[in-house]
Structure 1
Amino acid sequence: MQSSTYAIALGSNRRGRHGGPVAEVRAAIAALDGVVATSPIIGSAPLGPSIRRFANAAVLLESALTPPQMLARLKAIERSFGRRRGARWGARVIDLDIVLWSGGMWSTAGLTVPHIAFRERGFVLDPLRTIAPDWRDPVAGRTVRQLHARLNKPQPLG
């Protein structure tokens, strides 16, 4: 199979064996094969019930893996970092998600690419915009830069 490009979102808001959340994100980036671009690591507020701030980043990587194979690889890295299935949006040592894939769209019971909620998540779009501003979402037809601008556009009152 030929090589594809993946945009991967990374996040941590819990200390792990590598250190605090920023160190966990850096270690996860180092554990990924084929990284060709890395965003700055940003801080963001948590979603849901967690009270700990997140360290977030995005990477672009080249791989011959199919989306399901890439998902399996990301889940294996999460497990190696001590990630266990738990409460949705709870504290986590590492979270790795496929956001975009150069092959376009993929949809199976366990995987949807593009990531179903990335368009509404500044903590994904902020770092992704720094490394892939012109990547076009195959569903919305907008670039990452446009999605980011729409998300950060002031909303009129009343």
Structure 2
Amino acid sequence: MRQRYLIALGSNVRHHRHGPPERVLVAALDALARRGMAVLIAAPVLRSAAVGPSLRRYANAAALIETGLDPEALLAELKAIERIFGRRSGGQRWTSRVLDLDIVLWSGGPWASADLSVPHPLFRRRHFVLKPAAAIAPDWRDPLTGLTLRQLAARLARPVRA
């Protein structure tokens, strides 16, 4: 059975073959398609400040894909693509990286295992995930809050009042 997934893409390091981070994201979308995933739509690239110790700005996007893979199998595919692009496992979290691919949501509802939580546990607090995600799937509901991606993005964009 084919499932739909919302994938977050990020890069803040130039790739030796693909070039700057924006082009890395385009190449990553091509890699998803070459591995049998249908890329239904991708959001325009958003430039954002880094979270954590990295000083380099990120290129971020989101894509809606369709595949017959379950979340664990898709995670393995995404990690394999990251390795092809030169990402190494381990090391400090939130540092510079050529490519980061995260499962944000999937059409099957919540999923939890030792290696994966869907929805992504931090996506509701990340403008660089919500803005591109809301651009391509504004009416997709977070199964835990019941809010749409459009609503979550609007809440995050609202200024905090003292």
Per the shorter chain, which TM-score range? over 0.9
Tell me, in whole angstroms, the C-alpha distance in 2 between the residues paired with 1:102 and 1:12. 25
Deviation digits for residues 22-41 of structure 1 (CA, Å, limit 9, x no counterpart) = 11111001111210011001
Runs of 4+ in 1 over 4 A off after TM superposition: none
What TM-score results when the alignment is normalised by the length of structure 2?
0.95
Tell me, in whole angstroms, the C-alpha distance in 2 between the residues paired with 1:121 and 1:76. 24
CA RMSD of aligned residues (A): 0.6
CA positional deviation for 1:58: 0.3
Tell me, in whole angstroms, the C-alpha distance in 2 between the residues paired with 1:42 and 1:49. 20
Pairing 1:77-156 to 2, within 5 Å after superposition: 77-85=81-89, 86-156=91-161
In structure 2, the gaps of 5 or more residues are: none
% identity of equivalent residues: 57
Give the counterpart of 2:42 among 38, 42, 50.
Answer: 38
Aligned length: 156
Give the counterpart of 1:63 among 58, 67, 72.
Answer: 67
What TM-score results when the alignment is normalised by the length of structure 1?
0.97
Partner in structure 1 of residue 57 of structure 2? 53
Report the 3-state secondary structure (helix = DSSP H, G, I; strand = E; otherwise coil) of the residue aligned with 1:37.
strand
In structure 1, the gaps of 5 or more residues are: none
CA positional deviation for 1:61: 0.5
